[in-house]
Structure 1
Amino acid sequence: MNDRLRIALAQIDAHLGDLQGNAARIRAARAEAARLGADLVVTPEFSIAGYPPEDLVLRPAFCTAAEAAIQALAAETADGGPGLVVGGPWIEGGRRYNALHVLDGGKVIARRAKHELPNYGVFDEKRVFDAGPAPGPVAFRGFRLGLMICEDWWFPAVSETLAETGADILISLNGSPFEIGKAGRRVDLAVPRVVETGLPFVFLNQVGGQDELVFDGASFVLNPDRSLAVQMPGFREGVVVTAWTREDGVLVCAPQPLAPVMDEPEQAWRAMMLGLADYVAKNRFPGVLLGLSGGIDSAVTAAVAVDALGADRVRAVMLPSPYTSEESLRDAAACAALLGIRLDTMPIDPGMQALDAMLLPTLGGPPQGLAAENIQARLRGLTLMALSNATGWMLLTTGNKSEMSTGYATLYGDMCGGFSVLKDLYKTQVSALARWRNAVRPDGALGPGGPVMPERVILKPPSAELRPGQADQDSLPPYPVLDAILEAMVEREESVAALVAAGHDRATVERVRRLLDGAEYKRRQAPPGVKLTARAFGRDRRYPITNGYDETR
């Protein structure tokens, strides 16, 4: 019986569908692990293909190519270096599995299929995968590895089966998406698995952005006494070698310095940085552009973009109308100067006049009211999309979750764009993050230290400036009130009656309920954006557009 084992945890950023690129990442991680003296390298869930594969895994050619990439990596383990645990598809007996593949000695020595398939929130694995049997341990160089995949460890059955069939250690390969505060919950959930089995537990998570999802890494190791032996950083790739010794018949991991715990503002900001950076890089955009209005939403979006991409890959455009204040012009210019980005100014007055003339014969006069306001927003969207098409730079939208909840946004106007950084943040959260970023430059940020926007941008009353003297509170309840109601309705599905009982004004609650339900058609047409909460629009919260139920009646 061997008493020592060195396991490398490869917290990598897989690019979904890039099989050869992912194989190269795994190969590089193995080379680094070999240099550090590892016996085994563990990679995240579906690491050869990227996660989540969604319907891509239904294409036989894709699964065949993934198997070929796995076999090529297996052949390389004949060099006597570390073994590999790689995640990827497995087709067997007409069934399609989300599987892990253990590679050693030049071949695939074992495979295990995911037993618990998640089918909630962003996950719909039962559509594309078959559930595998409860896995048994894998024999590897004198040890019995209790290998499992993500959802398998969220419930006790798989861990208990592995322990009862002789596993020395529990190792979970994960594609666990980020949510604010989730890293601590993962550790809390792992503790019962250790208590129930008496075995140490390894949580290995991928890192990187994939469409709306961000994977934060934050891999960790718990010893049999439930102590935290290893904590890898969040939002960063890395290879860490863990040293294991058998003590009184039980494997124990030598403790390492722990990565610091981030507070929630830094978690959110780092998630937005990583989500945007990977979306731009993996979709091969040279840079991003956005409308910079002088308001807080566009200022925060610009700051995240500069932190993620660098100032030379962010371009801002100010699109004033006759209702744009001098203060907004000055604030937009000040934001651009603080961030070091290019700012162009393109007044939309000529476009407004042209549309008035075009519509005059049909309407008998210039557009009025909401139609006139939306023309301004759509002229801005049209102009920004023209710049995006001409340059190849992706347009960022700048709306927040409060606006998307209530429909306080213009289809084909300020909703134009390829990606939304603030999509899962309420307005009050945006304000809090603006204050935080003005005081803190997060680790890994490419933007400047010090303030990234004038204090006045944070403090002034929000306004779309589409008519004289307009303020958001003309159309919406004050944001602290609105966001408290929205958070209860969206995040926790609380009823009108419950909110009224909690002290909110009934008329306000009923109005917000109607706005929330009525804006579903707009949300369905919104661009993707970074998921930060457990109830992000589009992936987690899915409501019908045509819906006859009215809770306010």
Structure 2
Amino acid sequence: MADTLRIALAQINPHEGALRANAERIRAARAEGARLGAALVVTPEFSIAGYPPEDLVRKPAFVADCAAAIADLAAETADGGPGLVVGGPWQEGDRLHNALFVLEGGRILARRAKHELPNYGVFDDKRVFDPGPCPGPVAFRGFRLGLMICEDWWFPGVSETLAESGAEILLSINGSPFEADKPRRRVDLAVRRVVETGLPFVFLNQMGGQDELVFEGASFVLNPDRSLAVAMRLFEEEIRLTEWRREGERLVCAPQPIPPEVPRLEQIYRAMMLGLRDYVEKNRFPGVVLGLSGGIDSALSAAVAADALGPERVRAVAMPSPYTSPESLEDAAACAGLLGIRYETIDIVPAMEAFRAMLAPAFGDRPPDITEENIQARIRGVTLMALSNKFGDMLLTTGNKSEMSTGYATLYGDMAGGYSVLKDVYKTTVFALSRWRNAHVPPDAKGPRGPVMPERVITKPPSAELRPNQKDQDSLPPYEVLDAILEGLVEGEKGVDTLVAEGHDRATVLRVWRLLDRAEYKRRQAPPGVKITRRAFGRDRRYPITNGYTELVS
């Protein structure tokens, strides 16, 4: 019986649907594993195709092409090099599984189908996949591997079955999306599986951005004594060799240096960077364009873009109206200068005057109101979309979660665009992130080494500047109050009475609750954006637009 096993964990970034490119990534990972002396190279969930595949797996041709790519990879293992664990679809008669394939000796040695199918939040596995039976271990080069797929280890049943049937190690391949503080929660949950089974545990996650989801990697290994033996980097691709030996009847992983925990704000900022970078790169945009108003939201969005893509791929546009303060234009120019991004000014006053004259006969003697404010926002949206169309850059929207929650945004105006990095970030977190970025530089940033915005951008009262002396808090409660209520309503699904019992003013809670409820139609038309919290708008929180239910009458 063999006493040592070397397993290379390939924390790679697949490109959804790009089967040839993904197969090449897997080949490169196997070659690196061979160089390191690995007997087995393990890749993440659905690594041949990218996760989540959504309705791509409803295409028979797609499933067949995945199978062919996996068969090609299997044939290549006849060279005597490392075995492979690859994730992808498995068509078994009329049943379609989310599966893993163990490739060894020129063939598919074993298949295992995902048993626990998630059907909550961002996951729709039950919609497109059939569950497999509770899996047994796979014999590989003298070892018995307890292989699982993502959700299988979030519940005790699969890991306990594997332990009872002779597995020596629990090894889970994953497509587990990022949420703030989730890396720590995963480790805490994995400890339970180790305690229940007495077996070491390997968590291998994919890395990269896929539409609204970010996968931060953060793969790790726990030994049978629950100690953290290996911790892989966050937000980076990596091939890590792990070395296992038998100590008595247990397999133990040789400990490696553990990097310091990444602080929460850095996690969020780097998740926004990765989500934007992969959205732009994988969809082949040359760069991004955005409106730079001199306010904190657009300043932070521009900083994320410069850090993710490089300053040379970011184009910022100031679009002053009669209500734009000189300080805002100064701050916008200063932001652009600190970031080193392209910057220009396009005056929207001629367009405002043209709309006023064009609509005067239809509006008659009705006084100006929010209509004229929204026209300004829409002129800016049209201007930015024109630049996007002409030059090919994707329009980056700059609204935050507080605004999207309350509808404090203009459809076809400041909501126009292709992607948003702040969509799931509350305004209070925007302030915190801005201060963090002015004091820190993310390790993989392509932007400047120093501050990215003037202090005044962070400290001045937020304003849309669509009318004289306008301030956000003319229309909204103070952000520290608003965000606490929104977090209770959105993330916690708490009722009004519960929030009042927690110390919030009833009238304010009712007002925020009504704003949140009425803005659903706007959110349904918002661009995608990076998921940061436990409950993001869009894939996580899905409410009907036409909705007559009210839990309150007052």
CA separation of 1:367 and 1:234: change in aligned 2, threshold 3 A: farther
Alignment of 1:301-320 (within 5 A): 301-320=301-320
Q: Is the Cα contact below 8 Å between 1:320 and 1:347 reproduced in 2?
A: yes
One-letter amino acid of the structure 2 residue matched with residue 32 of structure 1: E
State the 1:303 CA deviation: 0.3
The answer for unaligned runs of 5 or more in structure 1 is none
User: 1:5-36 CA distances to partner (integer Å, 9 max, x unpaired)?
Assistant: 00000000000100000000000000001000
The CA distance in 2 between the partners of 1:179 and 1:325, in whole Å, is 37
State the 1:367 CA deviation: 6.7
Matched, 1:58 2:54: no
The CA distance in 1 between the partners of 2:72 and 2:260, in whole Å, is 37
Alignment of 1:280-429 (within 5 A): 280-365=280-365, 368-429=368-429
Aligned counterpart, 1:49: 49
One-letter amino acid of the structure 2 residue matched with residue 448 of structure 1: P
User: 1:139-163 CA distances to partner (integer Å, 9 max, x unpaired)?
Assistant: 1111111001000000111001111
Aligned counterpart, 2:446: 446
User: 1:187-235 CA distances to partner (integer Å, 9 max, x unpaired)?
Assistant: 0000111111111100000000000000010000000111000000000
Aligned counterpart, 1:82: 82
One-letter amino acid of the structure 2 residue matched with residue 475 of structure 1: S
Q: Is the Cα contact below 8 Å between 1:359 and 1:367 reproduced in 2?
A: no
State the 1:257 CA deviation: 1.0
Aligned counterpart, 2:262: 262
Q: Is the Cα contact below 8 Å between 1:233 and 1:260 reproduced in 2?
A: no
Q: Is the Cα contact below 8 Å between 1:356 and 1:366 reproduced in 2?
A: no
Secondary structure, counterpart of 2:131 in structure 1: coil
Matched, 1:103 2:106: no
Aligned counterpart, 2:225: 225
One-letter amino acid of the structure 2 residue matched with residue 9 of structure 1: L
Q: Is the Cα contact below 8 Å between 1:424 and 1:536 reproduced in 2?
A: yes
Aligned counterpart, 1:23: 23
The answer for unaligned runs of 5 or more in structure 2 is none
State the 1:277 CA deviation: 0.3
The CA distance in 2 between the partners of 1:456 and 1:212, in whole Å, is 31
Aligned counterpart, 2:172: 172
Q: Is the Cα contact below 8 Å between 1:360 and 1:366 reproduced in 2?
A: no
One-letter amino acid of the structure 1 residue matched with residue 393 of structure 2: W
The CA distance in 2 between the partners of 1:436 and 1:366, in whole Å, is 47
State the 1:366 CA deviation: 7.8
The CA distance in 2 between the partners of 1:192 and 1:482, in whole Å, is 37
One-letter amino acid of the structure 1 residue matched with residue 521 of structure 2: Y
The CA distance in 2 between the partners of 1:123 and 1:259, in whole Å, is 30
Alignment of 1:208-247 (within 5 A): 208-247=208-247
One-letter amino acid of the structure 2 residue matched with residue 376 of structure 1: Q
User: 1:22-81 CA distances to partner (integer Å, 9 max, x unpaired)?
Assistant: 000000000001000000000000000000000100100000000000000001101100
The CA distance in 1 between the partners of 2:363 and 2:515, in whole Å, is 28
One-letter amino acid of the structure 2 residue matched with residue 354 of structure 1: A
State the 1:550 CA deviation: 2.1
- Which 4+ stretches in 1 moved above 6 angstroms? none
The CA distance in 2 between the partners of 1:46 and 1:479, in whole Å, is 41
State the 1:365 CA deviation: 5.0
One-letter amino acid of the structure 2 residue matched with residue 152 of structure 1: D
User: 1:343-367 CA distances to partner (integer Å, 9 max, x unpaired)?
Assistant: 1100100000111111112112587
Secondary structure, counterpart of 2:109 in structure 1: strand
Secondary structure, counterpart of 1:135 in structure 2: coil
Aligned counterpart, 1:125: 125
CA separation of 1:416 and 1:367: change in aligned 2, threshold 3 A: farther
The CA distance in 1 between the partners of 2:432 and 2:119, in whole Å, is 34
User: 1:289-326 CA distances to partner (integer Å, 9 max, x unpaired)?
Assistant: 10000000000000000010000000000000010000
The CA distance in 1 between the partners of 2:362 and 2:439, in whole Å, is 53
The CA distance in 1 between the partners of 2:265 and 2:60, in whole Å, is 43
Q: Is the Cα contact below 8 Å between 1:438 and 1:453 reproduced in 2?
A: yes
One-letter amino acid of the structure 1 residue matched with residue 374 of structure 2: N
One-letter amino acid of the structure 1 residue matched with residue 215 of structure 2: F
The CA distance in 2 between the partners of 1:259 and 1:173, in whole Å, is 22
Secondary structure, counterpart of 1:337 in structure 2: helix
One-letter amino acid of the structure 1 residue matched with residue 37 of structure 2: G
The CA distance in 1 between the partners of 2:359 and 2:365, in whole Å, is 8
One-letter amino acid of the structure 1 residue matched with residue 4 of structure 2: R
State the 1:110 CA deviation: 0.5
User: 1:444-491 CA distances to partner (integer Å, 9 max, x unpaired)?
Assistant: 011112210000000000000000010001111111111111111111
Secondary structure, counterpart of 2:147 in structure 1: strand
**More moved, 496-505 vs 186-195:** 496-505
State the 1:551 CA deviation: 2.8
Alignment of 1:200-215 (within 5 A): 200-215=200-215
Q: Is the Cα contact below 8 Å between 1:315 and 1:341 reproduced in 2?
A: yes
State the 1:393 CA deviation: 0.3
Q: Is the Cα contact below 8 Å between 1:513 and 1:552 reproduced in 2?
A: no
The CA distance in 2 between the partners of 1:327 and 1:221, in whole Å, is 52
The CA distance in 2 between the partners of 1:495 and 1:198, in whole Å, is 42
Aligned counterpart, 1:511: 511
One-letter amino acid of the structure 1 residue matched with residue 341 of structure 2: I
The CA distance in 2 between the partners of 1:325 and 1:45, in whole Å, is 51
One-letter amino acid of the structure 1 residue matched with residue 263 of structure 2: D
Secondary structure, counterpart of 2:255 in structure 1: coil
The CA distance in 1 between the partners of 2:359 and 2:262, in whole Å, is 54
Aligned counterpart, 2:543: 543
One-letter amino acid of the structure 1 residue matched with residue 305 of structure 2: A
Aligned counterpart, 1:161: 161
Secondary structure, counterpart of 2:491 in structure 1: helix
CA RMSD in angstroms, aligned pairs only: 0.8
Matched, 1:151 2:112: no
The CA distance in 2 between the partners of 1:552 and 1:288, in whole Å, is 43
Q: Is the Cα contact below 8 Å between 1:292 and 1:317 reproduced in 2?
A: yes
Q: Is the Cα contact below 8 Å between 1:359 and 1:365 reproduced in 2?
A: no
One-letter amino acid of the structure 2 residue matched with residue 522 of structure 1: K
State the 1:497 CA deviation: 0.9
State the 1:507 CA deviation: 1.1
Q: Is the Cα contact below 8 Å between 1:217 and 1:235 reproduced in 2?
A: yes
Matched, 1:490 2:490: yes
**More moved, 421-430 vs 500-509:** 500-509
Aligned counterpart, 1:11: 11
TM-score, structure 1 length as denominator? Answer: 0.99
The CA distance in 2 between the partners of 1:505 and 1:164, in whole Å, is 54
